[in-house]
Amino acid sequence: TQLLEQSPQFLSIQEGENLTVYCNSSSVFSSLQWYRQEPGEGPVLLVTVVTGGEVKKLKRLTFQFGDARKDSSLHITAAQPGDTGLYLCAVDGSSNTGKLIFGQGTTLQVKP
């Protein structure tokens, strides 16, 4: 059983479309992180959300942390081919070590 469930698992859209991906759990978290991973590379941290209901924007990307701090969403406006990649959410699996627990990811393909 996955602690973090991401949906959809795969998404293929045309350039210019909007999309939302989700990261859900039944557990409450003190914070949640979103990463993007491109083929052949390591994950790169996009944002950390901490407060329930928090919304953070990174250019065309909007991240929201659920009010109950159990879930999060990532919305991309006017997607571009450069947004193609694997989007991963992650939470801290231990207050002592900082080890991360990842969702299985959403693979996004943006076609020109």
Partner 1 sequence: NAGVMQNPRHLVRRRGQEARLRCSPMKGHSHVYWYRQLPEEGLKFMVYLQKENIIDESGMPKERFSAEFPKEGPSILRIQQVVRGDSAAYFCASSNSNNQPQHFGDGTRLSIL
Where on the chain is the footprint of partner 1 (CB under 8 A)? 6, 33, 40-45, 48, 88, 90, 92-94, 96-105, 107
CB of residue 102 to partner 1, shortest distance in Å: 4
Give the separation between CA 87 and CA 21, rounded to whole angstroms.
9
CB of residue 16 to partner 1, shortest distance in Å: 26
CB of residue 78 to partner 1, shortest distance in Å: 27
- The pairs formed by 29-33 with CB atoms below 8 angstroms and a separation of 24 or more are 29/69, 29/70, 29/91, 29/92, 30/69, 30/92, 31/91, 31/92, 32/65, 32/69, 32/72, 32/89, 32/90, 32/91, 33/89, 33/90, 33/91, 33/100
The position carrying tokens 């065309």 is 60
Q: Which is nearer to partner 1, 63 or 102 (CB)?
A: 102
Q: Side chain identity at 41, as an amino acid letter?
A: E
Q: Which is nearer to partner 1, 42 or 82 (CB)?
A: 42
CB of residue 15 to partner 1, shortest distance in Å: 23
Q: Which is nearer to partner 1, 3 or 68 (CB)?
A: 3
Q: Which is nearer to partner 1, 73 or 104 (CB)?
A: 104
